[in-house]
């Protein structure tokens, strides 16, 4: 029975209910200002339920999995996970998990229910093994939080769900560019300066796409031939739109500087003369374009804002024409268009289509990273040094590349020996069978 009292104070109504005593003194929660008795009572019941459920506006025993996912997203994901991970989770929850599982009560979902859901996604939608692992990760994490942290349920039904058995290879293998493909790509974009130098940097350093486009000129030490990675670039969208153009040259997309993927991703690496000279040339070109565009050249500035979810400061990138005075520190981004416009990772969208359809080469930005690592290992580089250069959090990731490369090298060694041996006149003939 909800113990909420409603009294009239003047022309308005007030609710009141007793809470736990403090220091031996009885305590109450009350609120007035309601026009009717019923309105005050309903508000009081809601406040009372929130109080007895320790601040929750729901009752864990009866809440739906859909409502719980909203709670988990707000209290765990938006506080602990990276922005891009949150967006990926939200997409999977909205399009797949909520429609199939959201209407069940949190406390009633079983391992069988979850396994049937995973099997259904695999059979009917043909999801790749890696994509399906993201579904399982969401299920295990959300139910794990419900059992271990907030204790809404006693048993985690997601603990024992399994990925269906896939025939063949688990994932699409990385495409390692051949020397001929690299030449084709760079020759095709030689006159598209921003993307050309971005691809060149990725190929010669193995940086991730968000690391490449997060670089500023201050990160590149031409004298000591080093490049420092201490941030990522992250795209967020303003409320009310995603790609809608508001003003020519601008959109509702907003770019932020974010933390690196892992602690190991913060690193300073050495770069060779080829990349040093190329980036010097690109910097000189930028200075010329600044002069040509004059006051219309777009500059970028760092603005400290508070993340509403984590309540921590983060750096938002704002832009303005050179003619506008901005009282913020300027950011000298490396990979910008001729007029200074910055499109971040989106710079690669059209070039990837060209590489795929025009050049006929399978391509992801990450393939530059995999190719860089592969060529280093093929050349005999120490695996620990390669791992550090790539910013891998564990050497296991690098070792997987090493295994792939060494298997390929072993196959080539056998082939080379066969070619060598076949050139020698040491043919064999079948020996006559022994007779008894």
| pLDDT tens-place string over residues 353-397 | 999 999 999 889 999 999 999 899 888 888 899 999 999 988 887
- Domain total for the chain? 3
Last residue of a domain, one of 294, 324, 345: 345
123 pLDDT higher than 70: yes
What pLDDT does 412 receive?
Answer: 65
167 in any annotated domain: no
Per-residue pLDDT band at 280 (split at 50, 70, 90): very high
Please state, in angstroms and rounded to a whole number, the distance separating the CA atoms of residues 150 and 198. 45
User: Model confidence over 205-232: pLDDT tens digits?
Assistant: 999 999 999 999 999 999 999 999 999 9
Q: Which residues contact 367 (CB under 8 A, 6 or more apart)?
A: 174, 175, 176, 177
CATH number of residue 145's parent domain: 1.10.150.130
More confident residue, 414 or 117: 117
DSSP string, 119-168: HHHHHHH---HHHHHHHHHHHHHHHHIIIIIS-SSSS-TTTT--PPPPSS
- Domain match, 97 and 70 both: yes
Per-residue pLDDT band at 236 (split at 50, 70, 90): confident
427 in any annotated domain: no
Last residue of a domain, one of 345, 367, 393: 345
Which tokens hold the place of 228? Answer: 């420092």
13 in any annotated domain: yes
User: Model confidence over 38-82: pLDDT tens digits?
Assistant: 999 999 888 887 777 655 555 666 789 999 999 999 999 988 888
- Domain match, 234 and 320 both: yes
Summarize the confidence of residues 273-293 as an average pLDDT: 96
pTM tops 0.85: no
- Domain match, 89 and 46 both: no
- Domain match, 215 and 108 both: no
Summarize the confidence of residues 308-336 as an average pLDDT: 88
Last residue of a domain, one of 123, 149, 175: 149
**Can you give the residue range of the structural domain that contains 331?**
208-345
295 in any annotated domain: yes
More confident residue, 240 or 430: 430
What pLDDT does 211 receive?
Answer: 97
Which tokens hold the place of 407? Answer: 């298997």
- Domain match, 231 and 119 both: no
User: Model confidence over 35-47: pLDDT tens digits?
Assistant: 999 999 999 888 8
177 in any annotated domain: no
Nearest residue to 379 via CA among 397, 406, 400? 406
357 in any annotated domain: no
- Domain match, 235 and 304 both: yes
145 in any annotated domain: yes
Residue 115 burial (10 A CB sphere; 0-12, 13-18, 19+): middle
């Amino acid at each position: 029975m909800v113990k909420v009292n409603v009294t009239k104070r003047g022309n308005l109504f007030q609710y009141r209910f007793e809470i736990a005593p403090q220091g031996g003194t009885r305590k109450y929660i009350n609120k007035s200002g309601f026009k009717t008795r019923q309105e005050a009572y309903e508000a009081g019941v809601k406040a009372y339920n929130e109080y007895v459920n320790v601040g929750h506006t729901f009752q864990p025993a009866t809440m739906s999995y859909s409502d719980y996912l909203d709670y988990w997203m707000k209290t765990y994901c938006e506080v602990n996970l990276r922005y891009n991970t949150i967006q990926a989770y939200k997409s999977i929850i909205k399009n797949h998990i909520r429609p199939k599982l959201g209407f069940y009560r949190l406390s009633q979902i079983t391992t069988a229910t979850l396994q049937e859901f995973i099997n259904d996604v695999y059979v009917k939608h043909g999801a790749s093994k890696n994509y399906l692992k993201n579904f399982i990760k969401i299920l295990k994490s959300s139910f794990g939080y419900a059992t271990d942290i907030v204790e809404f349920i006693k048993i985690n039904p997601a603990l024992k769900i399994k990925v269906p058995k896939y025939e063949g290879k688990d994932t699409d293998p990385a495409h390692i560019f051949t020397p001929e493909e690299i030449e084709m790509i760079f020759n095709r974009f030689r006159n598209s300066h921003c993307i050309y130098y971005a691809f060149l940097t990725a190929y010669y350093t193995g940086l991730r796409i968000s690391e490449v486009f997060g670089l500023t000129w201050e990160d590149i030490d031409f004298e000591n031939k080093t490049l420092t990675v201490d941030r990522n670039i992250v795209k967020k969208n303003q409320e009310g739109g995603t790609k809608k153009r508001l003003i020519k040259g601008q959109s509702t997309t907003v770019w932020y500087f974010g933390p690196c993927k892992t602690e190991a991703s913060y690193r300073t690496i050495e770069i060779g003369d080829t990349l040093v000279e190329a980036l010097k040339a690109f910097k000189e070109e930028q200075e010329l374009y600044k002069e040509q565009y004059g006051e219309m050249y777009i500059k970028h500035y760092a603005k400290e804002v508070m993340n509403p979810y984590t309540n921590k400061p983060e750096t938002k990138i704002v832009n303005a024409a050179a003619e506008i005075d901005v009282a913020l520190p300027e950011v000298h981004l490396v990979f910008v268009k001729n007029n200074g416009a910055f499109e971040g990772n989106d710079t690669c969208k059209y070039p990837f289509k060209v590489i795929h359809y025009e050049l006929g080469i399978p391509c992801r930005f990450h393939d530059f990273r995999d190719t860089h690592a592969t060529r280093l290992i093929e050349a005999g580089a120490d695996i620990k040094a390669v791992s550090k250069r790539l910013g891998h959090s564990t050497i296991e990731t690098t070792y997987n590349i090493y295994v792939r490369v060494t298997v390929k090298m072993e196959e080539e060694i056998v082939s080379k020996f066969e070619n060598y041996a076949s050139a020698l006149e040491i043919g064999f003939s079948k020996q006559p069978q022994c007779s008894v």
